[in-house]
Chain A
Amino acid sequence: MRNAYDAIVIGAGHNGLTLGAYLARSGLEVLVLERRHEEGGGLCTEELTLAGFLHNVHANYHTFVDLAPPVHDLDVRGHGVEYVRPEVQMASIYDDGTALTIHTDLDKTCASIARFSEQDADTFRRLYSEAHGYVDLLLGTLMYQPPMSVKELTKALATFGVEDRSEFLSVKLRRETINQFLDQHFTNDKVKAHLAFHGAVCAYTNDVPGLAIGFPLLIGKIDNWHLCIGGSHRLAHALWRDLAQHGGVMISDADVRSIVVDRGRAVGVRLVDGTEISARKLVASTVSVEQTFLEFLEPSAVPEELHSRVKNDVKHKDWSLFSVHLAMTALPAYVAAEFDPDVDRAWVVNLGYGSLEELNADFAAVRAGRLPDPKPNAAVNSLYDPTDAPPGCATGLLRQFAPFAIAGGGEGEWESMGRWYGHRCIDAWRKYAPNLTDDVILDWVPYTPLEIAQKLPNMVRGDWMMGEVSLANMLDQRPLPELGQYRTPVEALYMAGSTQHPHGFITFGPAYNALQVIADDLALDAWWRQV
């Protein structure tokens, strides 16, 4: 490791690696520092249960493949990433044995919805078709550009008369919840529950005012869920390869203690082991705002008001995820396959939410710190990735909406409750797939919200989106208005992680957008802006 680079990026998650790779391709000498023993952040795949069983500990669903510019610009496929887009993307199985399936084939999806409501199937087709048409336009406008304000967007949409052209782009959606949107457009409880579940899995909680504005976009890419063959970590590895191929360096086990500031400008970092590395042009942080401004920077380097706002005003998600990772000798065989055989091929399955009220009640319980009766969602990657388990075996991933801190005991309660709650989640799965008996399940491990925060401290309080997903914390308001354009009050210090617009998930957006700002500031030749 040299003692000076042009750019130092803190955090080798997908955003850190993405930014590093672009900058390296732009001719800068880049160093990416990672606290953990490996690159990837949320792109973490481990043999959590038994040897040969690959479990995606955090990111499992890649929904922006071929929509996010870095996938092409950084040639992740050329670096070995192989994606599969499961034919049966998602399903809901209801308590009465019926099931709804979302396919990559729109006709099949609509046929499945029509079994519950022909009217809803027609509405879905109309909504999907409209949203699918403008998804790349909206993504280009909203996700892969430094953010505009809601006011600016509203004005532009009004000038273009968009509201008159699509009921699904109505400005009034910014005041509504996804529940309201669904109630206005759909009739069947189960259909509504499935669509709300899909939003919730993407962190767009169905009862949060304002999130209806993003819902048509979610529908536009509802069938774009991809699985990274061999585990999500493969993507991290590909990004690292791209970085390295262009002269960038990633160093793991490099725990940053502080960002060095000289006369108001970020000029380097100091590691916990005392090593000091200079940054000639910039330092970019892809970790949390709390780490960046409260831990890495001396209070004197941060305006007092910002310091206080980072401490008190940064908004985090009010629910987290409890996971169970399983090693199995069989695929789930759902009872509901009698109703719809395709559920047995569904990659991700919602187990039991049959109405918006049920989702509302569980989110209310979770916000109060209570553990709901599990209605987990189950992902079986082995259905579409034969490499993720030994022959004849399969992995399973259960995820349950859960609180970070448990009422009465706080987050520490998870240490004693993880296995108990994991059992309950498995029992809930068995209710729908009775073949998953004890002898089929070779091993399983719980992964609690507390462990999320411990493993990845940037996911503060188990906040896997690194910031609340709400209208108040969107666009240029995320994570705080004064940090909403990737620059910070410290000259040459940028924020480029999922704390920034658009949000967490494997979007590449924060890094890509921060890159635009950095390119403007450093007058880089923006080779990636090919139109």
Chain B
Amino acid sequence: MADIYSTAWYEGVRDAMNARVATMTDLPKGVLHIKVEIYGDGISPYIEEDVERNFLIRIADGHCDWYREVDGDDTSVKLDYRFRGPATIFDEIAAGLQDPIDAALHGTVKVRGDMRFLMRQAEHVSVLLDAYAHGVQTTWPLGRPPYAAEHKEALGA
């Protein structure tokens, strides 16, 4: 069990990702840096409104090297993908309540980067997303989503 947005949780996600890809073949070669930008939306208790928390994930040859919280953009790291969305949506994804593909399709999570590569690696991407959404036993010290319905309505979720 790990608290959401804690080092133990990031490590849990990393391990879950690597456990899931362990048996996969044809993993993409090379290094990818993925930045996740989660902004407070006034609903999630984990990120204050108008505050942004940034996370960087490094994937090497299909495996997750690390997943860590960072301050803003690190210019020494060339980003390959950027995922950006409100905290409640990411909380719900981590709680297995919201499908990350749905979130991207509906534009609640914005995705930037080489979409062709992402499409070609659909199987791998799906596995990594599944690890994020379902791979860690998460504890929610400030309350677990779903949050109050009226709040979700305000988000348009």
Interface residues, chain A, CB within 8 Å of chain B? 130, 132-137, 140-141, 145-146, 148, 152-153, 155-156, 159-162, 165-166, 169, 529, 531
Contact = CB atoms under 8 A, between A and B. Distances in A.
- 7 shortest interchain CB distances as A-B pairs: A133-B107, A159-B122, A141-B115, A133-B106, A156-B119, A156-B122, A145-B116
B104 interface: yes
A137 B115 contact: yes
Given A140-B112, A159-B126, A153 B107 contact: no
Interface in B92-147: 99, 101-102, 104-108, 110-116, 118-120, 122-123, 125-126
A136 B122 CA distance: 18
Contacts of A153: 119
> Which among B79, B122, B126 has the greatest number of chain A C-beta atoms within 10 A?
B122
Nearest to A135: B107
Contacts of A156: 119-120, 122
Contact of B113 (A130, A160, A166, A531): A531
Contact of B108 (A133, A146, A169): A133
Looking at chain A's contact residues, is the secondary structure mostly helix, strand, loop, or mixed?
helix
B81 interface: yes
A186 B65 CA distance: 50
B119 A141 contact: yes
Contacts of B48: none
28 contacts: A130-B105, A133-B107, A134-B104, A137-B105, A137-B111, A141-B116, A141-B118, A141-B119, A145-B115, A145-B116, A146-B116, A148-B116, A148-B119, A152-B119, A153-B119, A155-B122, A156-B119, A159-B122, A159-B123, A159-B126, A160-B101, A162-B105, A165-B101, A166-B105, A169-B105, A529-B114, A531-B79, A531-B80
Contacts of B122: 155-156, 159-160
B20 interface: no
A529 B116 CA distance: 13
Nearest to A140: B115
A152 B120 contact: yes
A137 B80 CA distance: 15
A87 B31 CA distance: 46
A130 B106 contact: yes
A293 B100 CA distance: 46
Given A152-B119, A531-B113, A133 B80 contact: no
B107 A165 contact: no
Contact of A134 (B82, B105, B126): B105
B99 to A, nearest CB: 7
Given A141-B119, A531-B82, A162 B101 contact: yes
Given A141-B116, A155-B122, A161 B101 contact: yes
A136 B110 contact: yes
B81 A531 contact: yes
A153 B105 CA distance: 15
Contacts of B102: 165
Given A136-B110, A141-B116, 19 more contacts: A133-B108, A134-B105, A134-B107, A137-B115, A140-B111, A140-B115, A141-B115, A145-B114, A145-B116, A152-B120, A159-B122, A160-B101, A160-B125, A165-B99, A165-B101, A165-B105, A169-B105, A531-B35, A531-B80
B126 A160 contact: yes
B36 to A, nearest CB: 12
Given A132-B107, A159-B126, A531 B119 contact: no
B127 to A, nearest CB: 10
Contacts of B114: 145, 529
A113 B76 CA distance: 52
Interface in B60-81: 79-81
A136 B35 CA distance: 18
Nearest to B101: A160
Contact of A531 (B99, B104, B112, B125): B112
A293 B135 CA distance: 55
Contacts of B123: 159
Contacts of A165: 99, 101-102, 105
Contacts of A161: 101
B116 A133 contact: no
Contacts of B116: 141, 145-146, 148
A165 B115 CA distance: 19
A133 B119 contact: no
Most A-side CB within 10 Å, residue of B35, B102, B115: B115
Which residue, B101, B104, B116, has most C-beta atoms of chain A within 10 A?
A: B116
A18 B85 CA distance: 31
B123 to A, nearest CB: 5
Contacts of A155: 122
Nearest to B81: A531
Contacts of A134: 104-107
A205 B107 CA distance: 28
Nearest to B33: A531
Contacts of A152: 119-120
Interface centre among A132, A146, A159, A169 (most CB of B within 10 A): A159
B110 A133 contact: no
Candidate in A152, A156, A161, A162 with the most chain B CB atoms within 10 angstroms = A156
Contacts of A135: 107
A311 B119 CA distance: 34
B68 to A, nearest CB: 18
Contacts of B115: 137, 140-141, 145
A362 to B, nearest CB: 36
A140 B82 CA distance: 13
